Structure 1
Amino acid sequence: MQQKTLVLYIVVALLATACGDAFLDVKPTDRFTNDNYWKTREHAEAALTATYAALLEDGLYGNNTPVMYETASPNAYNYNNSGGYNNLAQGVHDAANTSAINNAWRAAYLGIGRANTLLARIDGIAMDSALKVRFKAEAKFLRAVFYFPLWNLYNGAPLILDEPDFGKQAALPRNSAESLLTQILKDLDEAAPELPTTYGGTDKGRATRGAALAFKARVLLYAGRWAEAAAAAKAVIDSKVYTLYPDYRALFYLENEGNQEVIFDAQFKFPEFTHGLDMALDEFNTVAPLPTIVDDYYAKDGLPITTSPLYNPARPYDNRDPRLNATYTVIGSQYKGALVKEGQYPRTGYGQKKYTIYKDDIKPAVIQPSGQSELNYIILRFADVLLTYAEAQNEAAGPSQPVYDALHLVRLRAGMPDIPSGLSQADLRKEIRHERKIELAGEGLYFFDMRRWKTAETEMNGDIYNFKKQRIDTRRFNPQRDYYWPVPSVAIQENPGLEQNPAYGK
């Protein structure tokens, strides 16, 4: 799939240039239009691959977006307000001053438009019927992924299921969040049975049945529909298609992309489609981990550092959950073939290893230039599904052995002891949430977790400090406003019929 993307972007660009020519009385013959393009299987495949390429847009999974969400959570600090994530963290964002808010809305509709166009046009192509069914299923899966932030972040947006038509769609009002959720689940339910279990060859990276079920589980988890979320996650587990990669650190190595834990990822390729995480996480230290997340890692005996006899304040990083050193750089640890020194990561004292290409014991010949990283971002992985199942099943029915079994698999791979049995539902909830925070640290998901748990108003209000306990910033979160984003002002300018979320004015 990756080899074709450059050509396909050109195709999509040509199609896009034709959209504004509808008022002309002549039909252009020197470019593709929607009327003259959709002729062959290759055209359909090209358009579908371009729909996948929308995942790489800034605001979705491109331009460092997922990891930057860490800096709007208690896990990290963004010293230069890149993307406006400090505006989010400080609670000073509005409909106009934060590019992250604008980019997510824009990128979602870019992808939706591409998916809708394929679904509207593909039936006119004479091609293998089974392949046509699969292409439609892939497009529906992707449309669900693109609608997800419009439901989850903005609490509703125009629900568009037809191919782009500015004249008809420019004044559409916002649909409710519930309407978007219904459509997302409908698309996933229709896509899942038509998608293959696995692919081979150049089709690696496309949506599978497991991806549709895993994404459905995530959506239902975020919606608080516990029994349904547990059932969807259990279907992925019972499929026996995915297993945990044995080495947590190596799970994110470039050479291990697409391993048995990866269910679905955003596919990058140098030099056409890249991101800048190597520089942002390492040299620039733009995503600077905070002491709060470092201190949250338990000691190796499974106890918090506040109660574990293994914890030594004079050597605070010894005898800790191995995922600490696998995820972050701490003073005295090895990274890039050398020991990490004080001052090497000046913002908070820490850096992030996960989602860089660098290894602990190898000194890189060159530092990766900004914007030249091609490490795929893993959107869905099996550990997340196990934790989704554990949380949803505990919320739906309380503690049970299957919940413990799912947690134990994740902790066993990490080299951590089992969670004690016999916990109450509330105590097990606390351990599950902690396990999600640690297992998925550095991946941008905690930003969404604290919002759905409604803990952001506690976790994102107050001062933050570096490892020397020096204050570096103050966070603010207004629970009456900040659990949803504003509709971008540029979107309202283009469509005055869009109603702004009430807490952000008109």
Structure 2
Amino acid sequence: MKTLYHIVLGASFTALLLAGCSKSFLERQPQSTLQEEALTNKKGVNTLLIGAYAALDGQDYNDDMINLSGGSGYAVSPDNWIYGSVAGGDAHKGSDPSDAASILQIVTFAANSSNGFFNDKWRVNYEGIRRCNFTLHVLANVKDMTDAEKQVIAGEARFLRGHYYSDLKKLFDKVPWVDENSTSYQKLIVDDFKLPNDQDIWPMIEADFKYAADHLPETQKEIGRANKWAAVAYLAKTLLYQSKFAAAMPLLEDVIHSGVTTKGVKFGLMDHFHDNFDAFTENNKEAVFSIQYSANDGSGGTGNANQGQMLNYPYNGPFSCCGFYQPSQDLVNSFRTNDKGLPYLDDFNQHPVKNDMGVSDTVAFTPDNGYLDPRLDWTVGRRGIPFLDWGLHPGMAWVRNQQSAGPYAALKNVYMQVNQDKFYDGNSWAPGNAINYVLIRYADVLLMAAECQANAGSLEKAEAYVNMVRERAANPVGWVKQYIDPEDPMGGNTEEPAANYHVSPYPAGAFAGGGKDYALKAIRFERKLELAMEGHRFFDLVRWGLAQTEINRYFNYEKTVTSDIATGNFSARNKYYPIPQRQIDLSVKNGTSQLKQNPGY
């Protein structure tokens, strides 16, 4: 149920990193002992666990005891739209260059350790870790639960902790490990939390997911809770990030062949691609693990809604904010297909998709009539094409600054007009919605499995997994269709495709004929298409060792289209973001900072 993550916990939690407190305060005996005792039971520890889930959204939290607050939803969104998609070339920051200029610094790789967005992202992940650790700490003393029940709670807490640490590891690499054994919850001594970032934490992340995979049930009664298969998939992804393909492969095969959803349904691809991005059809068989959101649920405020994408709606028109997150021309061109329905893996920018740059919305414009992958129009809003059920995208009228960030609009994050009364949240200054973020979906699992199989030399099996994803894209049932009446976009659609869609699976033996390098190139490109605008691209490029080459290639092309990233340059240091200077300053112990900065910053 949607409310699983959104119980607000009281101020009795201790902080991971304490700030703004005097030494005399820190040396006092804390007054929370009775509250901890009150939580040391089945009901209490489950409440703590729900609090650990609640931190998944990264939205504003406040610990009244020490006055620590979280980052704005858009700065710390768990979908990593800034750090994963915009920084990876999927999209531009959008809006005007001066609007949230700190983001532009990040995505042109000019940001330093003082950029506040990094500190926000660091803190909200450690807030999640803090809640997991406290849950595990209290669980150890619970007497009214069986060992089996306690193992499930521990499995969920360790799954969540693995997620928070995985996010930190991908972003910053060198981060300190704190768990329920290394942290004292009975003493508020700040130096207890000043730990060095001098060890590789991947083994500990692996151990958390392994424990979760071994102890969680295959299904859960409540939607939103992690089950065994979510843990197995996340463990495999953790191994993949370390290039441990042989170890990850059997885990992914287990998810593909045995995995079931929380509802007990076997994982699979939805016929409709967009079902993964519609609040009405979410928690479906493709959702291996989702971060849950709800709107207009009677809870008050915006705490349960997805605020991470609050800036990322078309400017003007029916939306209130704000023209950020504009897909790049480079991404759009990637959806071009040849006469065989296959992508241009190497020279897609030599086959550009027609755009309406510089064309007023009052001037007639005919969209591109060449072959296109239909996933384009479920990913990118472009002029003259149905924008969900909101009408034909009008072009410049919905774009804040074309010259700066291009002519396109994000689409996967946008709620439908037909059910906005249920799934749109207007309680904040910018839109919220009830669209879940699918952290791991089945298509991702198939493509990770394809990558493992290709690295093992099993090119035929790798090709089969990629083709499962492409065959779904090729199914006309899931294509964007023209409106019956463009003046009444909620009046239904015809069976006529909205563009000249043409996509096909790779012909039998294509991977074997092209060899391992060709197969990996095709798999990587398929991830770019299938998972576009979902926060994966930058991290994929880094783990493949292609970030410097690909991102600078992107800059060199995209700056011929827009002006915002003209100064962009990716160097070797940029594969990880800088450790926030604020955290380095807080880590001083006996005159020495325990946290060390990443190389090159």
Structure 2 match to 1:243: 268
Shift of the 220–5 alpha-carbon distance from structure 1 to 2, 3 Å rule, reads closer
Contact 1:348 1:465 in 2 (8 A): no
Mapped contact 1:14–1:32 kept (Cα < 8 A): no
**RMSD, matched Cα:** 3.0
**Structure 2 counterpart SS, 1:158:** coil
- Which residue matches 1:75? 90
Give the match for residue 455 of structure 1: 546
Structure 1 residues 190, 77: closer, same or farther in 2, change over 3 A? same
Give the whole-Å Cα distance in 2 for the aligned partners of 1:44 and 1:364.
36
SS in 2 for 1:156: coil
Q: 1:418 aligns with which of 505, 519, 540?
A: 505
How far the C-alpha of 1:407 sits from its partner, in A, is: 0.9
Q: Paired residue for 2:341, among 288, 294, 302? A: 302
1:183-332 mapped onto 2 (5 Å cutoff): 183-200=204-221, 203-241=222-260, 242-270=267-295, 271-276=302-307, 277=309, 279-283=311-315, 284-299=322-337, 301-304=340-343, 315-316=367-368, 318-332=370-384
Looking at structure 1, the residues matched to 254 and 72 of structure 2 have their Cα atoms a distance apart, in angstroms, of: 26
Is contact 2:325-2:410 (8 Å) kept? yes
What's 1:382 paired with?
442
Q: Decide whether the 8 Å contact of 2:230 with 2:289 is kept in 1.
A: yes
Partner of 2:519: 428
- Contact 1:480/1:503 (8 A) holds in 2: no
Give the distance between the partners of 1:218 and 1:160, measured in 2 at CA.
Answer: 22
The reply to whether residue 169 of structure 1 matches residue 192 of structure 2 is yes
Amino acid at match of 1:495: S
Query: Which residue of the partner structure matches residue 134 of structure 2?
Result: 117
Moved more, 476-485 or 449-458: 476-485
Q: Between 56-65 and 456-465, report the one with greater CA deviation.
A: 56-65
One-letter amino acid of the counterpart of residue 340, structure 1: H
For 1:240 and 1:10, the matched residues in 2 are separated by 33
The answer to whether structure 1 residue 342 and structure 2 residue 438 are counterparts is no
1:351 is aligned to: 409
For the Cα contact (< 8 Å) 2:12–2:35, is it kept in 1? no
State the partner residue of 1:400: 459
Answer yes or no: is 1:490 the counterpart of 2:491.
Answer: no
Q: TM-score, normalised by structure 1?
A: 0.88
Cα shift at 1:24:
3.7
Alignment of 1:480 onto 2:572 = yes
State the AA in 2 paired with 1:113: R
Segments of structure 2 that go 5 or more residues without pairing to the other structure are 60-69, 261-266, 296-301, 316-321, 355-365, 475-502
Structure 2 vs 1, CA of residues 435 and 502 (structure 1 numbering), >3 Å: closer, same or farther?
closer
Matches of 2:233 and 2:71 in 1, distance apart? Answer: 18
- Give me the whole-angstrom Cα distance separating, in 2, the residues matched to 1:17 and 1:217: 31
C-alpha distance in structure 1 between counterparts of 2:227 and 2:208, whole Å: 14
User: Per-residue CA shift, 1:269-304, capped at 9, x if unaligned?
Assistant: 234322342651333220000100000013273234
Q: Percent identity?
A: 25
- Return the offset for 1:354: 0.5
| Residue of structure 1 in register with 2:39 after alignment | 38
Specify the SS of the correspondent of 2:566. Answer: strand
Who is 2:62 aligned against?
Answer: none
User: Can you list the C-alpha shifts for 1:450-476, whole angstroms capped at 9, x where unaligned?
Assistant: 11122221232234648x935442253
Report the TM-score when normalising by structure 2.
Answer: 0.75
* Alpha-carbon distance in structure 2 between the residues aligned to 1:280 and 1:312: 22
Contact 2:270-2:286 within 8 A present in 1 as well: yes
Give CA deviations for 1:222-263 in whole Å, capped at 9, x if unaligned. 111111122221121121421111100222111112001101
User: What whole-Å deviation, never above 9, does each CA across 1:130-165 have from its counterpart, x for those lacking one?
Assistant: 221100110111111111133222222221123455
Secondary structure of residue in 2 paired with 1:349:
coil
For residue 264 of structure 1, give the secondary structure of its aligned residue in structure 2: strand
Distance 1:194 1:324 in 2: 40
CA distance in structure 2 between the partners assigned to 1:122 and 1:363 by the alignment = 41
- 2: CA distance between counterparts of 1:101 and 1:477? 19
Cα displacement (A) at 1:378: 0.6
Aligned residues: 490
Tell me how far apart the structure 2 counterparts of residues 279 and 153 of structure 1 sit (CA, whole Å). 22
